[in-house]
Amino acid sequence: MSDATKDIEHLIELLAKLPGLGPRSARRAVLHLIKKRSLHLIPLADALHRVGTTARECLNCGNIGTTDICDICESEKRATGELCVVEDVADLWAMERAGVFKGRYHVLGGTLSALDAVGPEELRIPKLIDRIKSEQVSEVILALGATIDGQTTAHYIADQLPDITVTSLAQGVPVGGELDYLDDGTITAALKARRSL
């Protein structure tokens, strides 16, 4: 096996470890990249290198940026007193894409899990309690997943914060969703939380 074949095999192995890709799709991706070298492979290598050298976690909220304190934490405009607690940076990005929340975030880095032995100290929960003491927070909005672990985490956090308004995202029928395709739990939640028109 020549050096190039080894290099290509190594690249396939690395790509195959990405979530959502396997060995077969990684091979297809590598062949595509080699065929589109200047258009796709070189820019991708450069972009990875740049992100690898600049990206870091915000020391305050856990968001990803280039500085020790991220843009959202730095921005005075975002000091609305509302603090949105999310599991992961991906959830923060999803909230930002929706573009409707104007406050600041706190990324937990996961959920409490008895099975995986994840306790409050493994998450950014002590830091959250510190922030609520030091920043002027009027409301904590829990935007955690509607899973058992997500809801356990939500209740744990709410218990830790007796002196502050703690809310959570509404559960119900997704916009554009058809009842026929919804699970029983969602329909039950939507019915319980029904509103007068």
Interface ranges with a second copy (CB under 8 A): 1-5, 7-8, 10-11, 14-15, 17-21, 25, 27-34, 37, 40-45, 47-52, 54-55, 64-67, 70-71, 88-90, 93
Largest Cα–Cα separation, the chain: 71
Nearer to a second copy, 25 or 113 (CB): 25
Question: Is-contact 89 64, C-beta < 8 A?
Answer: yes
Question: Is-contact 163 148, C-beta < 8 A?
Answer: no
Min dist. Cβ of residue 22 to a second copy (A): 9
Query: What one-character-per-residue DSSP string does 3-32 give?
Result: HHHHHHHHHHHHHHTSTT--HHHHHHHHHH
Distance CA 182, CA 173 (A): 8
Min dist. Cβ of residue 157 to a second copy (A): 22
Nearer to a second copy, 41 or 182 (CB): 41
Q: Which two tokens stand for residue 107?
A: 């990324």
Q: Are strands 139-142 and 165-168 parallel, antiparallel or unpaired?
A: parallel
Min dist. Cβ of residue 181 to a second copy (A): 19
Min dist. Cβ of residue 4 to a second copy (A): 4
Nearer to a second copy, 98 or 170 (CB): 98
Min dist. Cβ of residue 38 to a second copy (A): 9
Min dist. Cβ of residue 20 to a second copy (A): 4
Nearer to a second copy, 15 or 154 (CB): 15
Distance CA 185, CA 193 (A): 12
Query: What one-character-per-residue DSSP string does 162-186 give?
Result: TTSEEEE---SPPTT--GGGS-HHH
Nearer to a second copy, 94 or 114 (CB): 94
Q: Which two tokens stand for residue 48?
A: 């990875």
Nearer to a second copy, 67 or 188 (CB): 67
